[in-house]
């Protein structure tokens, strides 16, 4: 029974070592992917590498916000949006009770 116990312990140790190696490899991959994503989303680096592209994006975003921002913002403000809907309904259908 002693040799059977040793064999089981050796198998457990081998499995533990294999799992440790796999976990370390997985941690390494996750860290590498995390670093890649951080680098891809680094605004300062993107601005220094492609300044004119960033100026174009900022200009386009400013144009879109300036053009559509007020209308979209009114929909997200509950009271302003509700006031618009009530005013529209009153103008379209008349006041309640009339």
User: pLDDT tens digit string along 50-81?
Assistant: 999 999 999 998 888 888 777 766 666 655 55
**For 35-43, what is the mean pLDDT?**
89
CA separation for the pair 79, 50 (Å, rounded): 42
Domain residue spans of the chain: 1-41, 51-98
CA separation for the pair 90, 97 (Å, rounded): 11
* Average model confidence (pLDDT) across the chain: 81
The pLDDT of residue 3: 85
Place of tokens 């916000």: 65
Confidence check: pLDDT of 94 > 90: no
More confident residue, 76 or 26: 26
The pLDDT of residue 1: 61
Confidence check: pLDDT of 25 > 80: yes
More confident residue, 75 or 9: 9
CA separation for the pair 86, 21 (Å, rounded): 65
User: Is this prediction's pTM over 0.75?
Assistant: no
The upper half-sphere exposure of residue 95, i.e. CA atoms within 13 Å in the direction of its Cβ, equals 2
CA separation for the pair 81, 37 (Å, rounded): 38
Place of tokens 């009271």: 79
């Amino acid at each position: 029974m002693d040799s059977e116990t040793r064999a089981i312990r050796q198998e457990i140790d081998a499995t533990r070592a294999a799992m440790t190696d796999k976990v370390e490899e997985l941690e390494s991959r996750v860290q590498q992917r995390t670093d890649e994503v951080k680098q891809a989303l680094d605004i300062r680096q993107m601005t220094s590498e492609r300044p004119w592209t960033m100026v174009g994006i900022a200009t386009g975003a400013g144009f879109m916000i300036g053009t559509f921002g007020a209308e979209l913002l009114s929909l997200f403000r509950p009271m302003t949006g509700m006031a618009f809907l009530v005013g529209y309904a009153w103008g379209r259908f008349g006041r309640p009770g009339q």
